[in-house]
Amino acid sequence: MKICDLLKREGDTIIYEYDFGDSWIHTLKLEAVLNSANNTQIPSCIAGQMACPEEDSGGPFLYKPPPGKGKTNIDLDAINSLLRDDDSGV
């Protein structure tokens, strides 16, 4: 399923559960629809609250960040590079 099939209008929001065992819940919101110079739509991530914990870390109820680590910035450039390179469509 393509994300454009789920998020069609500005303000549309979906909730996504990643890893049914750990139950990480993510909220995705379509902030704006912008067209590029050649009139194609390219998805972009504009914000995120935390970098991801390691796989199988116990989910939001059991996960404890390593000592000295709390919230960290996510790498928006890396995420957007992956989104631009996705040839499966928007």
The domain in which residue 67 lies consists of 1-90
> Which candidate, 50, 55, 54, places its Cα nearest to that of 27?
50
Q: Give residue-wise pLDDT tens across range 22-75.
A: 888 888 888 888 766 676 667 777 777 666 677 777 777 777 766 665 555 667
Q: Where are the alpha helices (DSSP H) in the chain?
A: 59-62, 76-85
pTM (2 d.p.): 0.56
pLDDT the model gives residue 3: 80
CB-CB contact of 2 with 90 (8 Å)? yes
**pLDDT level of residue 90 (50, 70, 90 thresholds):** very low
Domain count, the chain: 1
